[in-house]
Amino acid sequence: MNIMFLSCKQVTELVEKKQLVGLSTIESMRFRLHVVMCAACKSYERQSLLIEQALKRMIQVSRSDKDAAQLHPDTKLKILEKIKTSK
Ligand SMILES: [Zn+2]
């Protein structure tokens, strides 16, 4: 393995690592050096970011749906009281 030049496979791994935990200074330098010269990896990074953002939006939407489906605690108590008093 060359010290400064990464393979495309190594760069795709760094794209994922960058989004998850960030890169060290050396990794970041090697990453940028490769992406400047390689259109495929530049495109991969852009697409990976789009997928990441889309997934985050999907998770937020599904969470807000879940919240909307839950009853407010006060409403729950009122329903429980009605059930108890209706006996
Ligand atoms: Zn590449």
Domain that holds residue 43: 8-85
pLDDT tens-place values along the chain, 87 residues long? 566 789 999 999 999 999 989 999 999 999 999 999 999 999 999 999 999 999 989 888 887 776 666 778 888 888 888 888 876
Q: Is residue 66 part of a domain?
A: yes
Give residue 8 CA to ligand 1 midpoint distance, Å.
4
Give residue 35 CA to ligand 1 midpoint distance, Å.
6
How open is the CA angle 42-27-5, to the nearest 5 degrees?
Answer: 65
The answer to whether 14 and 23 are in contact (CB under 8 A) is: yes
Q: Is residue 3 part of a domain?
A: no
Give residue 19 CA to ligand 1 midpoint distance, Å.
17
Total number of domains in the chain: 1
The model scores a pTM over 0.85: no
Q: Is residue 19 part of a domain?
A: yes
Give residue 11 CA to ligand 1 midpoint distance, Å.
6
Secondary structure percentages of the chain, helix, strand, coil, to 5: 80, 0, 20
Q: Is residue 1 part of a domain?
A: no
Q: Is residue 76 part of a domain?
A: yes
Instruction: Give the Cα separation of 43 and 46 in Å (integer).
Output: 5
Q: Is residue 26 part of a domain?
A: yes
How open is the CA angle 36-38-40, to the nearest 5 degrees?
Answer: 130
Q: Which two tokens stand for residue 5?
A: 């030049």
